Amino acid sequence: MGEIIVHRIAIRLLVVAGFTIQAAISFTSAASAQSAGDVVGTWTLVSSVTEKDGMRNDQFGSGAKGMLTLDPDGHFMLTIIGPDLPNFASNNRAGGTPEENKAVVSKSIAMIGTYSVNSTDKTLTFKVDSATFPNWNGTEQKRLLASGNRDELKYITPTASSGGVGTVTWRRAR
């Protein structure tokens, strides 16, 4: 009889130890920087917020839409389009008025190139081949990873192109 009790206690201890180890592994994974494998995939925009002079703004407008694709070979495409962009009166995308062009440029961004993830310094670096903000062409844009969740990708841009500090949050596309 004593042998059965000892056996049951041993099983319970093993179960508790197993749960403890699994919890520790889960916590470590969530708390650690994302690896290149963690970010591969297609992401949809949750928010793009800038903080400047104590003010927080939706960088591309409330309700902006966006998509980021990071492929396993290190290539990326990123597009963010603000809501309520004006229709061009000319019905010709190359024939917008100065006001129409300004609205579109200030509320959208697109870029393509290659990327890398450094898990040690918790950064995502975009090497931009071409962008709708041409000042970024041929540059490396380093972002600080701020999320360890496999379904959320959040990064900080210490010097956003519109000024201030940017925080961009993406959700894995389903």
The pLDDT tens digits for 16-58 are: 334 333 433 333 333 344 677 889 999 999 999 999 999 999 9
* Domain chopping of the chain, boundaries: 1-31, 34-172
Question: Could you tell me which CATH class the domain 34-172 is placed in?
Answer: mainly beta
- Going from the first residue of the chain to its last (174 residues), give the mean pLDDT of each consecutive group of 10, the final group possibly shorter: 52 39 36 69 97 93 97 97 95 95 95 96 97 96 88 92 90 95
Return the amino acid letter for 106: S
Smallest CA-to-CA distance from 170 within 56, 36, 47, 78 is with 47
Residue 92's pLDDT is what? 96
